Amino acid sequence: MKTIPDHSFGKLWNISFGFFGVQIAYALQSANISRIFFTLGADPHELSYFWILPPLAGIIIQPIIGAASDKTWTRFGRRIPYLFLGATLALIVMCLLPNAGSFGMSVSQAMIFGLFALMLLDTSINIAMQPFKMMVGDMVNEKQKGLAYSIQSFLCNAGSLVGYLFPFIFAWIGISNIAPKGVVPDSVIYSFYIGALILVLCVFYTVFTVKEYPPKEYAEYHGINETKQEKVNVFQLLKKAPSVFWTVGLVQLFCWSAFMYMWTYTSGAIASQAFDAPTIEKTVHGVTALVLDTQSVEYQNAADWVGILFAIQAIGSVTWAVVIPLFKKLKMAYAISLLIGGIGFISTFFIHDKYLLFISFLLIGCAWAAMLALPFTLLTNALTGGHMGIYLGLFNGTICIPQIMAASIGGTLLRCQTREGMLPPEINMLVLAGIFLLIGAVCVRFIKSK
């Protein structure tokens, strides 16, 4: 079997550069979906149910993209055609989603439209995202994979930083940050427009600067017999999966559940915890309850501040990504990172100053850095090239299933903590996220990486 040659830093950079644009789209989605649906009129206890769609799309789409691209060979490459498809679809949907409340539809119609747009957006992001991880597995040797995934992690966090800051920046330069009832502010709408444009430009840069290995050369590098390929189904692949697939998956269960609650409940938690956003009475199913006033300046400013906090998290992640390679043992780096992130989540309960929350989200960023880099480094080092794409697609289940589970029970957990006539204590869900990360840190000891 031939060895994949070393690549220059520029080549490794080009392979992953489109990831920068994809993460801008992902950041805009993760920081603003709860804000958008809450603005449209969703009940706080039901917010987590809207978050079921993104991971559900991921668990369906990513294995399909992995399996299909494993068998795709075109003059443009095997993974690159899917990048092009995902970016084009994302461009369209990102221009539609934030306008869900602007087409004169009723509240229920606007939320249904938003749900379909959200599902299509996450589908397109998944179509565009997965090939970047696969191309590293396809084109980079084991010696350089750590560097390649570090570059991808850096671009991921840099893209997140930009996406998180967009609404705050647009509001700061004078674009309206408030809107009529049920309508998303222009600062958010324009953020999605600009994010869509950057996504397409970045993905096209990778499409036109990277040339994938042709079938024969790829087979030589990955020890594949082109004339007699092994045919196995998904269940056979799962049965033969290396132990690291399952043991890292256990850690992922708690990590991604934690971050699902962060994305879902941070806007409401920060609005009441640090911005004293006013409340209004709202009657849902014949029951009157207190909810935050989404038309208030305080709520919309808090929602913009969530973007700042998520950007701080991205800065913490980039900084901690430089520290992780200094650990001699990956498992120790993984466990310590999750422990620090758990402390960050729990600390939000005790902090009421919006600037002091920077400390909490810097700590949370340490966990995020480890989650982005270490699982895929551990897994791809244990895989051969023949089924690399579908294995990475299946591994995405360890990301999506925890999010689906967490979103499914999030509303019930919040309702159990809400006293009659009181504002839902969304900050408690961030504390629960911290507890999940602490459990994940303990589970790292079960990882079998050999």
Q: What is the pLDDT of residue 117?
A: 87
Show Cβ contacts of residue 77 under 8 Å, excluding neighbours closer than 6 positions: 210, 211, 212
Q: What is the pLDDT of residue 255?
A: 95
This prediction's pTM: 0.79
Amino acid identity of 151?
I
Bridge pairing between strands 279-284 and 287-292: antiparallel
Residues 98/192, Cβ–Cβ less than 8 Å: yes
Element (H, E) at 257: helix 243-273
Q: What is the pLDDT of residue 19?
A: 87
Q: What is the pLDDT of residue 368?
A: 92
Q: What is the pLDDT of residue 384?
A: 62
Helices 243-273 and 427-443 cross at an angle (nearest 10°) of 160
Q: What is the pLDDT of residue 229?
A: 52
Cα-based distances in Å from 382 to 238, 241, 248, 377? 14, 9, 12, 9
Amino acid identity of 284?
V
Per the DSSP assignment, residues forming a β-bridge with 291 are 280
**How many other CB atoms are found less than 10 A from the CB of residue 2?**
10
Element (H, E) at 378: helix 357-380
Show Cβ contacts of residue 228 under 8 Å, excluding neighbours closer than 6 positions: none
Q: What is the pLDDT of residue 385?
A: 56
Q: Give the Cα separation of 333 and 1 in Å (integer).
A: 33
Token representation of residue 116:
């379909």
Residues 87/9, Cβ–Cβ less than 8 Å: no
Q: Give the Cα separation of 357 and 344 in Å (integer).
A: 9
Q: What is the pLDDT of residue 272?
A: 92
- Given a cut of 70, the residues of the chain with pLDDT beneath it are 1, 224-234, 284-286, 383-389, 449-450
Q: Where are the beta strands (DSSP E) in 172-313?
A: 279-284, 287-292
Per the DSSP assignment, residues forming a β-bridge with 284 are 287
Q: Which of helix, strand or coil describes residue 147? A: helix
